[in-house]
Structure 1
Amino acid sequence: MTMTVLRVVFLALVIVPCGGVIGQPSKGKHVHYPGKTWEVVASPEELGLSKSKLEEAKAFSETLHTAAVMVVVDGKVAYQWGEVDKKFNTHSIRKSVMSALYGKYVLNGTIDLEATMADLGINDVEGLTKEELRATVRDCLKSRSGVYHPALYETEGMKRRKPERHTHRAGTFWYYNNWDFNVLGTIFEQLTQQSLFEALQRDIAGPIGMEDYQPADGKYISGKASMHKAYPFHVSARDLARFGWLMLNNGKWNDLQVIDSTWVHETTRYYSDATLYGRSGYGYLWWVARNHTRHPHLSHAEVPEDSYSAKGARGQHLLVIPEYNMVIVHRVNTDVKGNSVSGGDIGRLFKIILDARII
């Protein structure tokens, strides 16, 4: 499919009856971008938030292992606390960043979403069957490959939930699968002929002015179980907030289209029910809000249906809420053994922050 046809098809899908576009800030919202550093407002009330409620949120977070929180509205910091400039492990937030990196190369034809594992010469330690080799790049982005080969950097919870090998055909079943996520890194580097950590610097971090990220912050995780490495990296809260603000603004940063807007929309749409993980929905490596599923996007808190999140183990969370023109970042220093914040507590914390909105 050509890029022109992709754009036409996609726009036909995302235009909604009210005249807006899913995932785009509502008409009349401010479009402002940080310069070399984030602008922190003198009072949250300037951005429509109650300072007392945000102080309540901060006080609650101090009972947890929270390391940093940033609340961004209209492109400015409404409130922040903790070590927002310190780099912590992204854990699975790496996957949503990978999704964003793919956009440029899908649209310029370097990566074909319909290419199969067989087409790409992908295999693994235990070997892949003919059926597993039918899985496409798109299947992996949706976490629907059906390849349940051992994978690196899996949590115990992921291992417990993993289906038995060969129980689902490619494209037919959603499971949050590190094999899919890791092989996407292999495919990206194979087809683009560049390190993904260097690509992140060149394609996203540099153009949007991330203050702290360097390619050396990335680390490949290898092991005997699989040929496909995991690719966690360390990043600061203030840099993650920039990434979230880029996504909220449809991949645009000032006058530069860093990520094609069609790709932003396509990747943050609902494709799969994430009931298996007690969450509402899943896109292309993004958790997406979907009201009519069995589980909410956040425990204990409601967000508009166009919201989406990047989440990582032990409490890493980037929440993008286009309808509110808001980005929230929550970080935990997991380099310290035992530091963790549950999804339930993050939901409680985010509810207090969302309740700070002055309607």
Structure 2
Amino acid sequence: MRLILGLLLSFVAAVPSRAEPSTHWAKAGETALTQTISRLVKDYAVSEKPTAILVVQGDKIVTSWGDLDRKINMASVRKSLLSALYGIAVTDQRISLTRSLAEMGIDDKEPSLSAAEKQATLRDLLTARSGVYHAAAYETREIKKKRSARDSHAPGTYWFYNNWDFNVLGTIYRKVIGEDIFAGFERRIARPIGMEDFSKRDGRYVLAPESDHPAYPFMLTARDAARFGLLFANGGRWNGKQVIPADWVAESTRAHAHTNRGNRGYGYMWWELSADPWGRGGAYAAGFGGQIIAFLPAKKLVLVQTVDLQANPKGVRTSTTIELMKKIAAALAE
């Protein structure tokens, strides 16, 4: 009997805790560590005034602040959400990263694309190196001012945070792959990972007079955004199922281009977190005003922030949020 009991106890000890939440997020038990992290988040939230902050590790909420179930326009986080859909499509061989704009029949309003611009590939678009500097929808004033002259850089040679690239990727997904972005995200990602709030009605297309290619903003709650972050922290797996191909998770979140933003690495519409001090494989999706989904695979740690820019017009600087994550990661390492 003692032997059987010992074997059972050994088996239970060997079974790992869940890596994903079930229907709803559960909260971690209160410890000195969670209290420390809660203080860090509270002090930050009082100062920066986000709509919500959520810190999760594995299947548990470590701490939170604000309205976790409030849907917020995640701005440029949309790009990383679309990148995940591309990972599925590329792996299923429905499209190739080497296909050019010319091969896919992509152009735009006058002044239309030159022959050289049409040589940009899908990979160039994903890494913001298309060399196409056509006017685009949903651009900030800063980006409009910084946009280079047409045909000033060959495709694949120069990084620029270019909404034309990102918007055209939305057009290509709908045209070549033949699926609505928001319906595809709901069916292929949101439902499989148990998002509590998202539906395809939480996305919309935004056009501008200068371009044929619309932006595609998503509305997400913090608790749904955290599931997406944890999906990537888990290498694309959820409850034993490979929702996003593991190779794509690794490939899309590593640096393919060094940028003019503090030499930060840019992947396939993800920002890389360098290995030091994070551990390998960390990355984040960032949107205007402080929207962020950041993850550290080595710690199964996810930090999500949403910011309602009507309530907080100044927003929150991404660098400030990354500093908070550094403090949380340091606390976990102690």
Deviation at 1:355, TM superposition (A): 3.6
Query: Which amino acid in structure 2 is aligned with residue 350 of structure 1?
Result: M
Match of 1:110 among 88, 94, 105: 94
**How many residue pairs align between the two structures?**
319
What is the alpha-carbon distance in structure 1 between the residues aligned to residue 141 and residue 35 of structure 2? 39
1:306 aligns with 2:290: no
- Structure 1 residue 177: Cα displacement: 0.8
Q: Which residue of 1 aligns with 2:165?
A: 180
Q: CA deviation at 1:324?
A: 1.6
Q: What secondary structure does 1:222 align onto?
A: strand
Aligned counterpart in structure 2 of residue 254 of structure 1, from 207, 232, 239:
239
CA RMSD of aligned residues (A): 1.8
Q: In 1, distance between residues paired with 2:43 and 2:311?
A: 21
Note the C-alpha offset of 1:147: 0.4
- Are the structure 2 counterparts of residues 39 and 170 from structure 1 closer, same or farther at C-alpha, using a change threshold of 3 Å? same
Distance in 2 (CA, whole Å) between partners of 1:53 and 1:215 is 34
Counterpart for residue 318 of structure 1: 293
My pick for the range that moved more, 103-112 or 310-319, is: 103-112
- Mark the CA change 1:291 to 1:40 in structure 2 (over 3 Å): closer, same or farther: closer
Partner of 1:296: none
Superposition deviation, residue 161 in structure 1:
2.5
Give the TM-score of the pair, scaled to structure 2.
Answer: 0.90
Match of 1:130 in 2: 115
Q: Which runs of 5+ in 1 are unaligned?
A: 1-27, 293-301
CA distance in 1, matches of 2:281, 2:88: 23
Higher-helix-fraction structure: 2
Pick aligned residue for 1:207 from 192, 196, 201 = 192
Shift of 1:50: 4.2
Quote the offset at 1:339 in angstroms.
Answer: 4.6
Q: What are the Cα deviations for residues 171-194 of structure 1, in whole angstroms up to 9, with x where unaligned?
A: 111111111100000000002222
Which residue type is aligned with residue 79 of structure 1?
T
Instruction: Indicate yes or no: 2:31 matched with 1:38.
Output: no
Q: CA deviation at 1:305?
A: 4.4
Amino acid at match of 2:301: M
- Which shifted more, 64-73 or 236-245? 64-73
Deviations for 1:232-276, whole angstroms, at most 9, x for unmatched residues?
Answer: 0110000010001111111110121111111111111111112x1
Query: Structure 2 CA distance, aligned partners of 1:29 and 1:159?
Result: 50
C-alpha change, 1:173 and 1:349, in structure 2 (3 Å) is: same
Q: Comparing 230-239 with 324-333, which one deviates more in the overlay?
A: 324-333
Residue in structure 1 matched with residue 8 of structure 2 by the alignment: none
SS of residue in 2 equivalent to 1:318: strand
Q: Tell me the distance in 1 between the aligned counterparts of 2:319 and 2:272.
A: 17
- In the TM superposition, what are the counterparts of 1:1-359 in structure 2 within 5 Å? 31-45=18-32, 49-125=33-109, 126-274=111-259, 276-290=260-274, 302-336=277-311, 338-359=313-334
Give the secondary structure class of the aligned counterpart of 2:292: strand
Alpha-carbon distance between aligned partners in 2 of 1:291 and 1:223, rounded to the nearest angstrom: 39
SS in 1 for 2:213: coil
Work out whether residues 54 and 352 of structure 1, in 8 Å CA contact, stay in contact via their aligned partners in 2.
Answer: no
Q: Contact conserved, 1:132 with 1:146, CA < 8 A, in 2?
A: yes
Give unmatched runs, 5+ long, in structure 2.
Answer: 1-14
Equivalent residue of 1:71, what SS?
strand
Structure-2 change in CA distance of 1:56 and 1:269 (3 Å)? closer
Secondary structure of residue in 1 paired with 2:329:
helix
In 1: Cα distance, 2:16 partner to 2:333 partner: 15
Whether the aligned pair in 1 keeps the contact of 2:51 and 2:66 (CA below 8 Å) is yes
Amino acid at match of 1:193: G
Quickly say closer, same or farther: Cα 1:344–1:102, change in 2 above 3 A. Answer: closer
Counterpart-to-counterpart distance in 1, 2:167 and 2:244: 22
User: Aligned partners of 1:173 and 1:29: how far apart in 2?
Assistant: 45
**Helix, strand or coil for the counterpart of 2:214?**
coil
Matched position secondary structure for 2:198: coil
**Aligned counterparts of 2:319 and 2:74: Cα–Cα separation in 1:** 19
User: Which structure has the bigger radius of gyration?
Assistant: 2
TM-score normalised by length of structure 1: 0.84
Deviations 1:154-180 (A, max 9, x none): 112222322222110011111111111
How far has the Cα of 1:55 moved from its partner? 1.4
Deviation of 1:219 (Å) = 1.2
Alpha-carbon separation, structure 2, partners of 1:290 and 1:164: 32
